Amino acid sequence: MKFTLGRRAFIAAAASLSLAAPVFADGHKVVDSIHFLIPGGAGGGWDGTARGTGEALTGAGLVGTASYENMSGGGGGKAIGYLIENADSQHGTLMVNSTPIVIRSLTGVFPHNFRDLTLVSGTIGDYAALVVGKDSPINSMSDLLAAYDADASGTAIGGGSVPGGMDHLVAAMVMEAAGKDALNVKYIPYDAGGKAMAALLSGEIAALSTGFSEAVALAQAGEVKIIGVTSDERVDAYGDAPTMKEQGIDTTFVNWRGFFGAPGLPADKLAMYQEAITKMYDTPEWEAVRARNGWVNIHNSGDDFKTFLEAQEKVIGDLMKKLGFL
């Protein structure tokens, strides 16, 4: 149904749907106020990120007050359009976004892309993972590839996003890096992470492409085995999960979340926002919010953010062309 959101989004949002109380002058205030523009409805992943970040920033006294505005529509395109059209009056606004801004501007869901905005900072992220059910005969990527070679059509990989969406792209990326043809991978989409997980455990699909933090919760509960993570090195949160790289599959992927400003944001304002965010990482308030949501700190500020986004756009764009989505 249209109103069931992904489980991942809920986990992030559920814990952080709180109003940040204004805390005044702690002596180290960097910005007076920030207005967060959230391109999705209340309770989604973007909502949780913006409110959690606002809570930490005001709680730590780095920002005086934070306000929030939900503007859903057009897969996030409505908020992007609004920020661009009203750029001059939106210097106090930060919009939250994530990997889909890259994917959706490539597919033309909305006419703009991240270059039309001022890049403030990427703040957090999550790796992707391939998982199998606990009773599955598959124990590693090489087992999965062997099963795929034996019966490509019977080795379906599921995910919680549309074809051409993030979970699909990760699965395709991994199979390409393993020397298989991504076009032959049977990807089965589900409209929510929970339903995809049920399908995995019921044996409808052979493997599931999902977010790492979500996979960890189920792996710890003994429900699934994580057969590959898209990080450079093993992640501390669950050290038993092998990386794709160590299994000879040279690919990495980060689903980032970060903040954007209106085009033409004055340099001094931009520097202020970036300073506030940079300082935020050292505060106990941020650590509390981060730990509660299971986020991974992946900080890319300004030009680094741009380099990162351009690289991701290139990788995703090439893959989508190959898959026939562009």
Partner 1 sequence: MIEGLLNGLSAAFSIQNLLMVIAGCLIGTFIGMLPGLGPMSIIAIMIPVAITIGDPSAAIILLAGVYYGAIFGGSTSSILLNAPGVAGTVASSFDGYPMARKGQAGKALTIAAIASFAGGSIGALLLMIFAPMLSTVALLFHSAEYFALMVVGLSAIAAFAGTGNVGKAILMTLLGLVMATVGEGALFNMPRFTMGLMDLQSGFSFITLAMAMFALPEALFLVLNPKRSAQGASGKIENLRITREEGRKIAPVIGRQSIQGFFIGVLPGAGATIASFLGYAVERNIATKEEQEEFGKGAIKGLAAPETANNAACTGSFVPLLTLGIPGSGTTAILLGALIALNVTPGPRLMIDEPQIFWAVIISMYIGNLVLLILNLPLIPYIAKVLAIPRNYLIPFILFFTLMGSYIGQNNATELLILVGMGICATVLKFADYPLAPLLIGFILGGMLEDNFSRSMQLYDGIGFIVDRPMTLGLLVIAVLLVVIPSYRARRAKARQEGVAEGD
Binding site for partner 1 (CB under 8 A): 1-5, 7, 10-15, 17-18, 41-43, 69-75, 77-78, 81, 107, 109-110, 153, 156, 162-165, 186, 188-192, 194-195, 197-199, 201-205, 217-218, 220-223, 292, 294, 325
Nearer to partner 1, 25 or 221 (CB): 221
Amino acid letter for position 130: L
Looking at beta carbons only, is 122 or 294 nearer to partner 1? 294
The packing angle between helices 45-59 and 267-280, to 10°, is: 90
CB of 211 to partner 1, least distance (A): 13
Q: Is the CB of 1 or the CB of 25 nearer to partner 1?
A: 1
CB of 274 to partner 1, least distance (A): 28
CB of 206 to partner 1, least distance (A): 11
> From CA 104, how far away is CA 74, in angstroms rounded?
10
- Report H helices in the chain: 7-16, 45-59, 77-85, 100-107, 141-150, 166-177, 193-201, 212-220, 267-280, 284-293, 302-323
User: Cβ 13 to partner 1, closest distance in Å?
Assistant: 7
3-state secondary structure of 48: helix
What is the rounded distance in angstroms from the CA atom of residue 10 to the CA atom of residue 17? 10
What's the rounded Cα separation, in Å, for the pair 16 and 48?
Answer: 5
Q: Smallest distance from the beta carbon of 222 to partner 1, in angstroms?
A: 6
Residue closer to partner 1, measured from CB, 186 or 299: 186
Question: CB 218 → partner 1: shortest distance, Å?
Answer: 6
Alpha-carbon distance 111 to 104, whole Å? Answer: 9
Among 213, 164, 198, 189, smallest CA distance to 45 is for 213
CB nearer to partner 1: give 10 or 305.
10
Output 80 or 265, the one with its CB closest to partner 1. Answer: 80
Where would I find the H helices in 202-301?
Answer: 212-220, 267-280, 284-293
